A and B are shown apart, each in its own frame.
Chain A
């Protein structure tokens, strides 16, 4: 089954304790992206990757890092989490072909709480 998976689904942590949220897709997609969703602010893009070893900042990259060493994986790293990073996070992927088949598929979400 074609899917985007994220782990963990729920995480409660403390300020400053490094964490990684993993994202994996099995559709051989070139493009992957991270969003965060906050009440009243909608979904905002954090980082995206057009291909392996190619990443770029989205709208709200501060406090986050990403890496794309393999096509299927795109982990989101919070080196020193702070309470304002408490949010619902979504990973997404798409073919990246830029044609009419280029639709994004989202993971189930990771609810992060930073105390």
Chain B
């Protein structure tokens, strides 16, 4: 699975959009970009994933650059409950199923 690079921390004002970047310059053609988050010590929560097209669901949007070397997770209207560690993971679906969580980005949403 390709390696990812994320900033260690970010702040966001409540109600504003939170844009979390991820670099994955060694991504291969069949690898998907997944985003998870972990709130305090709860179980990691799946947010969204995509291959090359932009994706949107009820939680977030995922923007993947045309060359697929980077992506951005967008939380359109961040709330205090979105304060968490966000992980960007690149992998082939299946593939022994193991998720490799890096250090992630700690997002602090402030009132």
Contact = CB atoms under 8 A, between A and B. Distances in A.
Q: Mostly helix, strand, loop or mixed at chain B's interface?
A: loop
Given A100-B32, A103-B34, A90 B43 contact: yes
Given A43-B44, A108-B42, A111-B41, A98 B98 contact: no
Contacts of A108: 42-43
Contacts, number: 62
Interface residues of B, number: 21
B68 interface: no
Interface stretch (B6-14, B45-53, B58-66, B75-83): B45-53
B97 A33 contact: yes
Contact of A42 (B41, B96, B98, B101): B101
Interface of B: 32, 34, 41-46, 49, 51, 92-99, 101-103
